[in-house]
Amino acid sequence: MEPTTILLFATAAVASLFMAWVIGAGSSGATPFAPAVGANAIPTMRAAFFVGILGFAGAVTQGASVSEAVGSGLVDGVSLSVGGVIVVLSIGAGLMAIGISTGYPIATAFTVTGSVLGVGFALGGDPVWGKYAEIGAVWVLTPFVGGGIAYGIASVLPRPDVPEDVSIPILAGIVGVVVANLEFAFLSSLGGTLAAAGTALVPVDGAASTVAISLGLGVVAAAVVRWDVARDQAGGLRRFLLSLGALVAFSAGASQVGLAVGPLFPLLEGLPMASPTALLLGGGVGILVGSWTSAPRMIKSISQEYASLGPRRSIATLVPSFLIAQTAVLLGVPVSFNEIVVSAIVGSGFAVAGGAGVSPRKLGFTVLAWAGSFVLAFGLGYGSMLLLGR
């Protein structure tokens, strides 16, 4: 391999690492535990510490799906060049850095997707309409689905006719069933999920045993949480809230690492010493370092400036955030954690206080930043490649 090519690969890798750091410092590092911090369930610095570790774990074990979609599933007929990858990552990281410095959560998925499309079309690529429909559906439905679920949960939790030693365990059981069916790379040889891997221990039909294990894990989760809430309601709510934050942080790493390392995937054919696993590890490290060093600013912005969150409202926020995040990972769709969590915060806020705890001005600027970042990233990506002569 020529020295010039090696230098370009190294530059692209550095840009990817910087992008991973920005993701850890911004959306991936801030949003998962922001509701828990807002509910005073965990200090800001401790939240940043744990979210970094959990984000790294999610990136390594579940990050391949979105990475492959970002790298080769958005534009047909062309493969991103090394120069195109550098442009994509520089635009995405640059816009995210602006968001971090100003305190506004710019959506990483919008910036990276927009820049990939701009660069890909400038290189002569063709649209992948089916994938765009899938991505668009997730992006458009997220505020309504996430906000709606959060509204429903937040409306039920404080009701006297629905005791919390019943409602909270039901939520825990649902989450337990979902966890049993999450796909992990290290379980690929055993079916990919905890439920599928456990079928080897159950001497019944495969489908029936998968259902039984999924329901069993849900029942166990519900029973443990019910016991905890019954003996110590405040402490049980806090521990359940922190468990949800951990799952969301894990899911954030699984989804967001693809935005950092996904553009590098097309380059692996020309770099035999690298592998997808190595890229995911590098991206996970970048997210971890970003979470540890710079996430507290954004955690404070989301947890304190958007709304005043209590433990019940925070639980209502994190349950749909986890479900939507894992749906996006399963579909291989790049999704913004800022959009997911902020939408859920708003939904729960309308249920609890009729929207009184939500800042309309801050929310309006955020929505404009989401839409504008996609359009701007697309234009910068397309224009940059034309200026560089493709």
User: For position 129, what pLDDT does the model report?
Assistant: 93
pLDDT in tens, 129-154: 999 999 999 998 999 999 999 999 98
Mean pLDDT of the 310-320 span: 86
pLDDT in tens, 18-35: 888 888 877 666 677 777
User: For position 189, what pLDDT does the model report?
Assistant: 79
User: For position 219, what pLDDT does the model report?
Assistant: 95
pLDDT score of 103 more than 80:
no
Q: Residues 284, 257: contact at Cβ < 8 Å?
A: yes
In the DSSP assignment, the letter for residue 302 is I
SS (H, E, C) 116-159: HHHHHHHCCCEECHHHHHHHHHHHHHHHHHHHHHHHHHHHHCCC
Query: Which residues sit opposite 193 in a β-bridge?
Result: 183
pLDDT in tens, 62-88: 999 999 999 889 999 888 888 888 899
At 270, is the pLDDT very low, low, confident or very high (cuts 50, 70, 90)? low
pLDDT score of 43 more than 90:
no
User: For position 160, what pLDDT does the model report?
Assistant: 73
User: For position 92, what pLDDT does the model report?
Assistant: 83
pLDDT in tens, 347-376: 888 877 665 556 677 777 777 877 888 999
Count CA atoms within 13 Å of residue 107 on its CB side: 29
Top-confidence residue, 31 or 224: 224
User: For position 306, what pLDDT does the model report?
Assistant: 45
pLDDT score of 327 more than 70:
yes
* Domain limits, the chain: 3-159+222-387
Instruction: Round the average pLDDT of the chain to a whole number and report it.
Output: 84
Region of 184 please: left (phi>0), alpha (psi -120 to 50) or beta.
beta
User: For position 197, what pLDDT does the model report?
Assistant: 81
Mean pLDDT of the 181-198 span: 84
> Can you tell me the distance from the alpha carbon of 17 to that of 19, in angstroms, rounded to the nearest whole number?
5
Top-confidence residue, 4 or 191: 191
